[in-house]
Structure 1
Amino acid sequence: MNQSNAIATKKLRDTLQKIWGYSEFRKPQEEIICSLLSQRDTLIIMPTGGGKSICFQLPALLQPGLTLVVSPLVALMENQVKELRDRRISAALLHSELLTYQRKQILQQLERQQLKLLYLSPETLLSAPVWERLCQPQVKINSLILDEAHCLVQWGDTFRPAYRRLGAVRPALLQSKPKGTKIAIAAFTATADPTAQTTIQQVLQLQQPQVFRQNPYRSNLYLKVQTVWTPRGRRQQVLKFIQAKPKQAGLIYVRTRRDSESLTQWLNQQGYTTAAYHAGLSPEERRGIENHWLSGKIPFVICTSAFGMGINKPDVRWVIHFHAPLLLSEYVQEIGRAGRDGKPSIALTLVSEPTGWLDPEDKQRQEFFTASLRSQYIKAQQLAKKLPKKGEVPRDTDSAIALALLHSNGQLEWQDPFHYIIHQTHLQSPGKLNFGHQINEYLNNRGCRWQFLLSAFGFDKAAFKCGHCDRCN
């Protein structure tokens, strides 16, 4: 290592120690940070709990200008910004739930270049008041970070179409900046199979990105799938499980708001202190439940997929999927919240018996989801034929989704984040309608569960020995 590299490494480690209290980086944090500091486009796939946030927060402190962090959920942004402010780092978040005076204050900080990190959703990034300020020539932007980048793939052409326009952001921003300005793009996620990786790179228009991929295998995490025969039996299995693990921290994932509330009510009646967490709660209610869980006042939470992203609780001993998730990537995200401290933990998934005769809920849920997607595609196809061949992105959500689907099929290009050109309007039959088959294959797989996950996410399983799932032990 030459002298300049040694000095740079010492500065990184000194900053890590001073701000976060760690003496050493985990592998490959330091390499990722160096990639971002050298202004390279980067794609990072690291398991949940692998320390992704530090990889873009630390470079933000060491570079002049602002780092934009595009994040999918308000709760996730609130948690990260609170942690940064507790460490006296100038960070802020913008979202639709802010009071007018709060929003105005943050926009002023942005204009005065008083922020190191600004967290915002894709929709907020592309809102007129924010975009106008970001395009001011004096506002220096060093990086655009896409946190939880799998959301681009899962949601980009369904109910969050703004994700599909993110690739046009960098070229548009650079047009307003002084000549020679560079803006690096980095995408972070815990779950991206080879197809998802290609989609992320194409949509974001990453330029010769450096790619970091970490194996999702966790030797301390035991995977188990258990068949239940009736709705009552499903609840009884949960009760039996948590009775055997008194005072341990855990999470119970359900699919809907109604499920979270009804299961919470039933467990309260059994004498357990718990709470329902879903997107319908106010920010104050969400924050209250998170704090009670983090502090141990509530041992476990009944939650939808809205809970967990970015919440760091090392001692979660178990995760139950009361209902199986619809996507394998969701499953890996959610089980990854158990055992971050490296101690033995378990991920249990409850599934209906295959015929669904006595408990048809799982089958009905998947059929409903598929039917909703199909209906959305048909609606988008009809709308696409009526939209002008070129123009400004309409304000209504249905039209925006139609444009996102056309872009997903390679039939549309963005001139900038707000204007498009359609080359062809006939939408192909959506391949996504079959994507639930992957989770079904996993749940019904007779071989090693960890081997299945490794293979699904593009990792070599040849020399792999498990011993940490219900098929191998």
Structure 2
Amino acid sequence: MNHQAASSSRETIRAQLQHIWGYSEFRSPQGEIVQCLLEQRDALIIMPTGGGKSICFQLPALMQTGLTIVVSPLVALMENQVQELRQRRLPAALLHSEVPKQQRKQTLWALENQSLRLLYLSPETLLSEPVWERLCQPELKINGLILDEAHCLVQWGDTFRPAYYRLGMVRPALLQSKPEGTKMAIAAFTATANPDAQKTIQQVLRLQQPESFRLNPYRANLHLNVQVVWTPRQRRQQLLKFIQARPGQTGLVYVRTRRDGETLAEWLLQQGFQTAAYHAGLSPDERRQIEKAWLGGSTQFVVCTCAFGMGIDKPNCRWVVHFHAPLLLSEYVQEVGRAGRDGKPATALTLISETTGFLDPDDKQRRQFFVEQAQKQQRSAQALSHKLPPQGNVVSVSREFKEGAIALSLLNSTGQLEWSDPFHYVMKPGNDQPAGQTNTHAAKQMTDYLKTKDCRWRFLLGAFGFALEATNLRCGHCDNCCR
């Protein structure tokens, strides 16, 4: 591209940004990412929560003819983005298991008629028969595949969302059905991926010489605190004290399970707070109502599991409390990143049992359960590897064996099995090795973070591969720096 063409296309891109979103300028590195995707190059993008990720892939999608597929992990996340696009009268749609029949029909029809620019799907829906068949039609032009919240591939891909590990075969399989010379870019977006996770994302998606855009997660306005509690009662009292000290301030309380959320929300209601428990077990309507009440300010805070927050933007959220610490550091950074997106001071507090867990064994048990679950899944995958035919397809394996799809995903992550396309596998003999320990290692990292006496931000930057920026950092406002 010559210099003149490059600058005129930059002008066109900026004009579109102004026209659709009303912004006159990009935040760095948004403009470069848009350019990269318009030129159909692969990319791996790590940007903190609230950094304006979605514009980076929505803008190039709207500027090209043809379809861009956005693979997204959560229904709430897809619905919020598509709703915003539709309000601006932009050709976007979504498909997931909860979409009503009539709407589903309309979307599939729009897909066939090539009247969509953006289609949001979960990995499972992307690989479902009716959708896959339509995507493989030779005349349907597909410009690219966007993986939003790409850390989910690493966190969930070999535990309970095995479709993630088959996404790397989507591009080669689709290209087989398209005219020769067709190009299709893949871009993975996330707020949190340490060097190991970046490697996994790159390998699983089969990214080709991806351009890398990495912004570190440091936020000078976000104050990180960890507080030891001795008993379950003291944990509740500390939370109460924290909320009472911030009258009227909007926040989020994170718990790890549905049951914890409901019990705690009920107790807080008895203390006179207007709140609600949010988890994946609620109906779409119930979820929408809680989100709306929180965004609109009639609910001061929500007691939620990790199902809340991705893609839900409330700039003036002033605090986040982890009533229970997350198991992984990447979850922690995602969740604390919901606070203080407007740049004003915000606080993130994590409550933890003292190390022996003698009076409050909850945290210890939760970590133990996590590690044991991972080991159990790995053992059953190994056992299954001896029963599987040397080649086969995921549908028949899932039918025959409970958790068969997860076992295939685990065997794939340890190099014992290869996908020949998104639906068929081939076993690789003589590669009988125990499964990778990425998540157990990541869980240990989280424990180290909670115990560190070092500057907390410095620890996080180091853990996420920003060693240079971490070198002399003392944030001056985390609990360790303030001691």
**Paired amino acid for 1:258:** R
Q: How many angstroms apart in 1 are the aligned matches of 2:306 and 2:70?
A: 21
SS in 1 for 2:252: strand
In the other structure, the counterpart of 2:283 is 282
1:12 CA drift (Å): 1.3
1: distance between equivalents of 2:372 and 2:408? 21
| 8 Å CA contact 2:42, 2:211 repeated in 1 | yes
Of 456, 463, 467, the match for 2:472: 463
* Alignment partner of 1:448 is 2:455: yes
The match for 2:432 among 414, 426, 450 is 426
Match among 399, 416, 420 for residue 421 of structure 2: 416
Local SS of the residue matching 1:248: coil
SS, match of residue 34 in structure 2: helix
Deviation at 1:325, TM superposition (A): 0.2
Q: Partners of 2:118 and 2:178 in 1: how far apart?
A: 19
**What is the CA RMSD across the aligned residues, in angstroms?**
1.1
List alignment gaps of at least 5 residues for structure 1.
Answer: none
Cα offset for 1:124? 0.4
Mapped contact 1:29–1:55 kept (Cα < 8 A)? yes
Q: How many Å apart are 1:214 and its aligned residue?
A: 0.4
What SS is found at the alignment partner of 1:472?
A: helix
2-structure distance, mates of 1:196, 1:448: 23
How far residue 434 of structure 1 moved from its aligned partner, in angstroms, is 4.0
- Aligned pairs for 1:270-419 within 5 A: 270-393=271-394, 394-396=397-399, 398-419=403-424
- How far residue 8 of structure 1 moved from its aligned partner, in angstroms, is 1.2
On the 8 A contact 1:406/1:427 being kept in 2, the answer is no
- The alignment covers a number of residue pairs equal to 473
Q: Hey, what's the Cα distance between the residues in 2 that align with 1:297 and 1:80? A: 22
Q: TM-score, normalised by structure 2?
A: 0.96
Render the CA deviation track for 1:7-52: whole Å, top value 9, x for unaligned: 2112111111121121111110000010000000000000011110
Instruction: Note the alpha carbon deviations across 1:296-323, whole angstroms, 9 max, x for none.
Output: 0101100000000001110010000000
Distance in 2 (CA, whole Å) between partners of 1:415 and 1:227 is: 50
Q: 2:378·2:434 contact (CA, 8 Å) conserved in 1?
A: no
Task: Within 5 Å, give how 1:231-270 maps onto structure 2.
Answer: 231-270=232-271
1:359-395, CA deviations, whole angstroms, 9 ceiling, x for partnerless residues? 1100011111111121111111111211111111133
| Cα displacement string for residues 265-318 of structure 1 (whole angstroms, at most 9, x for unaligned residues) | 001001000010000000011011001100101011000000000011100100
Matched position secondary structure for 2:16: helix
SS in 2 for 1:15: helix
The alpha-carbon deviation at position 2 of structure 1 amounts to 3.6
TM-score of the pair, normalised by structure 1? 0.98
Quick check: 17-26 or 136-145, which moved more?
A: 17-26
Distance 1:14 1:297 in 2: 37
Q: Helix, strand or coil: the match of 2:227?
A: strand
Cα deviation, 1:106-126, whole Å, max 9, x if unaligned, reads 101100001110000111000
For 2:285 and 2:90, the matched residues in 1 are separated by 23
State the match for 2:200 in structure 1: 199
Partner of 2:122: 121
CA distance in 2, matches of 1:378, 1:411: 14
Whether 2:230 is the aligned partner of 1:224: answer no
Where 2:348 maps in the other structure, the secondary structure is: strand
Which of the residues 413, 437, 446 maps onto 2:444?
A: 437
Give the CA deviation at 1:433. 3.3
Q: How far is 1:463 from its partner?
A: 3.3
Give the structure 2 partner of residue 135 of structure 1.
136
Match of 1:76 in 2: 77
Distance 1:223 1:87 in 2: 37
> For residues 342 and 140 of structure 1, what CA distance do their matches in structure 2 show?
41
Matches within 5 A, 1:21-32: 21-32=22-33
What runs of 5+ residues in structure 2 fail to find an aligned partner?
none
SS of equivalent residue, structure 1 residue 157: coil
* CA-CA distance at 1:429 after TM superposition: 4.9
CA distance in 1, matches of 2:288, 2:274: 17
Paired residues of 2:414 and 2:435 also in contact (CA < 8 A): no
* C-alpha separation in 2, matches of 1:36 and 1:435: 31
| Deviation for aligned residue 1:430 | 4.2
Q: What is the aligned partner in structure 2 of residue 55 from structure 1?
A: 56
Separation in 1, partners of 2:132, 2:433: 31
Once the two structures are TM-superposed, the CA of residue 97 in structure 1 deviates from its matched residue by 1.0
**Cα distance between partner residues in 1 of 2:369 and 2:212:** 37
Give the partner amino acid of 1:23: S
**Given residue 481 of structure 2, which amino acid in structure 1 is its aligned partner?**
C
Secondary structure of the residue aligned to 1:316 is coil
Deviates more, 1:182-191 or 1:101-110: 101-110
Deviations 1:167-218 (A, max 9, x none): 0000000000011111000000000111110110011000010000001100
